[in-house]
């Protein structure tokens, strides 16, 4: 029993010492970090613009934007909200890394209404 108790205490002490190391590695992002226009690295004709007022602009070849999504930033997550008629669509994108010129995001969401999946990591370059 004494041996088990000392293992538990040692394990808890190790966890207490390592927890600050893991939590300090997680970057906290703010809306100001994203402001500007970002183009997809694989196809620069597709862009996303994070605006100061919390709205998102976007462009795609031969398409006119129909909706004005809004966004908030919470730590490493971008919460996106789109009003489509009387329905509200909410989604979350994870920020994997961010430098002044490169934004790497990860999306893991449900397939779209047409069955297409957008799940994956995307690299965007600052314009």
What are the structural domain ranges in the chain?
28-126
Q: Comparing C-alpha atoms, which of 56, 55, 59 is closest to residue 39?
A: 59
Q: What is the mean pLDDT of the chain?
A: 83
Judge: domain 28-126, CATH 3.30.70.920.
no
Over residues 6-35, the mean pLDDT reads 66
Q: Per-residue pLDDT tens for 52-110?
A: 999 999 998 888 778 889 999 999 999 999 988 888 889 899 999 999 999 999 998 87
Q: Which pTM was predicted? A: 0.73
Residue 12 has pLDDT above 50, yes or no: yes
Which is more confident, 33 or 64? 33
The full DSSP string for 17-72 is HHHHHHHHHS--B-HHHH-EEEEESS-TT-EEEE-TTSBEEEEBTTB------EEE
Element housing 104 (H / E): strand 102-107
Q: Taking the CB of residue 83, how many other CB atoms lie within 10 A of it?
A: 12
């Amino acid at each position: 029993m004494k041996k088990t108790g000392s293992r538990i205490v040692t394990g808890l002490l190790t966890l207490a010492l390592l927890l600050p190391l893991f939590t300090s590695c997680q970057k906290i992002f703010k809306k100001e970090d994203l402001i500007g226009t970002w183009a997809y690295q694989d196809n620069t004709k597709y862009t996303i613009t994070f605006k100061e007022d919390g709205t998102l602009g976007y462009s795609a070849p031969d398409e006119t934007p129909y909706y004005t999504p809004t966004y908030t930033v919470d730590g490493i997550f971008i919460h996106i909200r789109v009003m489509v008629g009387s329905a509200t669509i909410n989604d979350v994108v994870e920020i994997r890394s961010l430098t002044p010129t490169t934004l790497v995001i990860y999306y893991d969401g449900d397939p779209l209404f047409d069955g297409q999946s957008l799940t994956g990591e995307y690299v965007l370059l600052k314009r």
